């Protein structure tokens, strides 16, 4: 019963699409278990670039079945557009290859408008959400009034529920947030128009996933966002609204707790985040521009979903060790090592200073206020000038690059099994 899990070890945008693409080649089923179209997984195959927000990125491999679990929130319009995009790229998408849990919560245009209004009302304390309606949809789920995908299969009930939802949000927008009212009739008609396109994909997915495992086949759980955005363990309140850690796999796919073969933590060779919140190793100026846009893949450090420039900084090993603690990683997948080429020295955060004392063991439960009081303590490793994009074996890497990888292994106690040195599928070093 091989269950493999891929988790972002930072604030998201670590390059999980690369890791999923690698493992999906030998997987029978690839499943998303959390989040919505606030996620963005990019896979580059030759000259083709696939940017996916909802559908598991492993579905690009023709041998895999894709599943969207109950821990997700789904915008039907985004899904329809994504299916169309994949079909145009000659990827087979049909109800035999893609299953959507009947318990997935649905996002509406009203959720998106409410998301913008609520974040704007916070003023300087804004979270910096993607504006995709993720938070309001999860709020509706927790308050037991959300729309579920399975309701689409009962058209009359669903139409009534959708109208009640739009009426309620219309009231909130006008009376609480002083925003223009909604054209409820037009929105209901538009929203219900997606039903026919989506309904063939909806079914119970728990028996499918468990049955696949019982047959001895491989299931790959594809996480969205990153550990530090987890609603419980992340840098609260600057987090997303779902469980982004390995613990979320079981509830998000309807599985009982069982043995896991591999938990792969995906970590960038430096640190990035999108949105507000504390970021101890954040850089500005020329070094920030270097990490963001002058490495091997120019202009890559912009959000796949939002297009916003990512905040960038040096690798934070304090937070990486914390991510290992809450996920139980068995190995690391290091991405974008090629971007660091050209630096004479590379600082790495190994401890914090807080309240006049050094902290090298993070006693931390995700409180952003505590993290905002920390300043990084760095060790600087030697840099390298060589271009790594053509490296395919460990021996091809310059000594300083090998030292950098080995330092991460020593500090975390985890093996770095795979190293990405470019966006292409082939730009990868796999270590035995």
Pairing mode, if any, of strands 48-52 and 41-45?
A: antiparallel
Pair 149, 137: CB distance under 8 Å: no
The C-alpha atoms of residue 130 and residue 275 are separated, in whole angstroms, by 8
The C-alpha atoms of residue 420 and residue 365 are separated, in whole angstroms, by 30
Whether 185 is a known active-site residue: answer: no
Given the residues 4, 21, 37, 41, select the one marked as catalytic. 41
Whether 4 is a known active-site residue: answer: no
Q: What is the DSSP string of 122-140?
A: TGGG-----SSSHHHHHHH
From residue 298, how far is each of 268, 339, 422 by CA, in Å? 16, 9, 11
Given the residues 4, 13, 119, 230, select the one marked as catalytic. 13
In whole angstroms, how large is the CA radius of gyration of the chain?
22
- The CA dihedral of 395, 398, 400, 403, to the nearest 10 degrees, is -10
The residue written with tokens 């074996």 in the block is 393
The C-alpha atoms of residue 99 and residue 54 are separated, in whole angstroms, by 12
The C-alpha atoms of residue 168 and residue 174 are separated, in whole angstroms, by 10
> What does the buried/exposed string (b/e) look like for 293-327 if buried means 16 or more CB atoms within 10 Å of the residue's CB?
bebbbeebbebbbbeebbbbbbbbbbbbbbbbebb
Residues noted as catalytic: 13, 41
């Amino acid at each position: 019963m091989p269950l493999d899990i891929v988790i972002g070890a930072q604030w998201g945008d670590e390059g999980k699409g690369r890791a999923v693409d690698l493992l999906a080649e030998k997987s029978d089923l690839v499943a998303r278990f959390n989040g919505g179209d606030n996620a963005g997984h990019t896979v580059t195959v030759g000259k083709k670039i696939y940017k996916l927000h909802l559908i598991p990125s492993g579905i690009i491999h023709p041998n895999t079945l894709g599943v969207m679990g109950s821990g997700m929130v789904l915008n039907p319009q985004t899904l329809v557009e994504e299916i169309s995009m994949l079909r145009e790229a000659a990827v087979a998408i049909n109800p035999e290859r893609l299953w959507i849990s009947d318990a997935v919560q649905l996002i509406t245009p009203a959720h998106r408008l409410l998301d913008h209004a609520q974040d704007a009302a916070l003023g300087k304390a804004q979270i910096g959400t993607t504006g995709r309606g993720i938070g309001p949809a999860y709020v509706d789920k927790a308050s037991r009034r959300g729309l579920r995908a399975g309701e689409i299969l009962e058209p009359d009930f669903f139409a009534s529920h959708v109208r009640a939802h739009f009426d309620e949000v219309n009231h909130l927008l006008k009376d609480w947030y002083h925003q223009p009212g909604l054209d409820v009739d037009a929105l209901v008609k538009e929203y219900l128009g997606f039903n026919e396109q989506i309904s063939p994909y909806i079914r119970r997915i728990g028996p499918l996933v468990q049955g696949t495992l019982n047959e001895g086949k491989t299931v790959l759980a594809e996480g969205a966002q990153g550990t530090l955005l987890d609603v419980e363990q992340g840098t609260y309140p600057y987090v997303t609204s779902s469980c982004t850690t390995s613990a979320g796999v079981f509830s998000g796919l309807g599985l009982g707790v069982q043995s896991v073969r591999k938990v792969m933590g995906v970590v960038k060779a430096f640190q990035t985040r999108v949105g507000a919140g504390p970021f101890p190793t954040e850089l500005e100026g020329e070094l920030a521009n270097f990490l963001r846009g002058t490495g091997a893949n120019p202009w890559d450090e912009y959000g796949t979903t939002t297009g916003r420039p990512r905040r960038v900084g040096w690798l934070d090993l304090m937070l990486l060790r914390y991510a290992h603690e809450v996920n139980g990683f068995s190995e690391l997948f290091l991405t974008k090592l090629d971007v660091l080429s050209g630096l004479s020295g590379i600082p790495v955060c190994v401890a914090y200073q807080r309240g006049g004392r050094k902290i090298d063991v993070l006693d931390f439960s995700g409180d952003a206020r505590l993290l905002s009081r920390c300043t990084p303590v760095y060790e600087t490793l030697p840099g390298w000038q060589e271009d790594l994009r053509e490296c395919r074996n460990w021996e091809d890497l310059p000594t300083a690059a090998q030292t950098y990888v080995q330092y991460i292994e020593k500090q975390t106690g985890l093996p770095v099994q795979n190293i990405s040195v470019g966006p292409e599928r082939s730009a990868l070093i796999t270590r035995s």
